[in-house]
Each structure stands twice: as structure tokens, then as C-alpha cells.
Amino acid sequence: MNFCPSCGAAVVRRIPAGDHLPRDVCSACGAVHYHNPKLVAGCVAESGGRILLCRRAIEPRRGFWTVPAGFMENGETLQQAAARECQEEALAQVEVGRLCAIVHVLHAQQVHVMFRATFASPEFGVGVESLEVKLAAEHEIPWAELAFPSVVFTLRRFLEDRAAGREELHFAAIERPPAQG
Ligand SMILES: [Zn+2]
């Protein structure tokens, strides 16, 4: 951040009194501008044992596969955000179920919150943010072409839990971005 969103003056990086980390502080009005992690909500939506996957039409990782997920909006719950992403990316109406994974994506300043979900009606399609949408059986998941480590982690834990007949909550922390390929 170079300029204060409140008054337009130059911003300097310093530790405010009583704080312990450098912040963006306005040189004119004194406003402190904090930068905190963003929440991403998504879900593993299942239909007849197969999993809803979308091939991304947008950067980052265009052309790679993901489960429906995206940035939470103000005024909605995590479950609503996860369901909305299914609607937007895969034109699918889902019932959001139990939490599956919370992945701290430290290098991107994001927290990914991934639920389990089932289809409320069987239809799905290709949303504007997707190139292709499909239901994939476990052996059809394109592991080498998944967009993000958080998606790999979530799908692996989901499938292990499903095979074991349980629904647990799993945590992970990712420190650096995936190698681009
Ligand atoms: Zn200012």
C-alpha cells in the first residue's frame, strides 16, 4: 500500500505504539491500515460417489482442476459462500455438510475452509469461471492437474475418511506456492 485509502496521503511502514508488527500507517491522518488473511470457502460435492470438479477458466492456475471454492463475501456465512461457489462455478445446487479441512495458505495470506456437500438436485453445468465441469470417480481425479495444494489435501483427506466411513476435520499449513507447470 502506497497511499492512504482514507485521505490519499503517503503511507509509511512502521510499528504503531502498543503494537508488535510493522503496519501501513498514514503519514497525514495517522490511520493504521491492517492486512489480514482472506477466507476462501469451498466444498467437495458428491453425487453417486463421484466428486464435482471444475477446470478453471481464470487465473491463477487457469486450465487446472479444482473443487468449487472462492473468496467469501461480506454478509454471508461460510456455508453460504461454499454453496454460492458451487452455483457460480458449476451451476450446481448443493446442501453443505460437515467441515472437511481448514488449510492455512500462509504464502498467499488465505485460509481455505472446505466442507463436504451433497447435490440438492442432480443438474450441473459449466459456470462462467469454468472451462469444463465434471463428476469424477476417485480413480478419475486428475491429481497432477489439480490447481492448488489445498485442493489436493482436501480431496485426499475426504477420500480417506469416506473409505473409513467417517467425517473428520483436518488441518494443514502450506508455506510456499506450488511449482508452476
Ligand atoms: Zn490518511
Average pLDDT, the chain: 96
- Ligand 1 centroid–CA 17 distance in Å is 17
Angle at 39 between CA 36 and CA 43, to 5 degrees: 165
Hey, what's the cell of 158? 475426504
- Ligand 1 centroid–CA 30 distance in Å is 6
55-93: pLDDT as tens digits: 999 999 999 999 999 999 999 999 999 999 999 999 999
116-168: pLDDT as tens digits: 999 999 999 999 999 999 999 999 999 999 999 999 999 999 999 999 999 99
Residue for grid cell 455438510: 97
- Ligand 1 centroid–CA 33 distance in Å is 9
Instruction: State how far the alpha carbon of 175 is from the alpha carbons of 19, 60, 108, 155, in Å.
Output: 25, 17, 9, 19
pTM beyond 0.95, yes or no: no
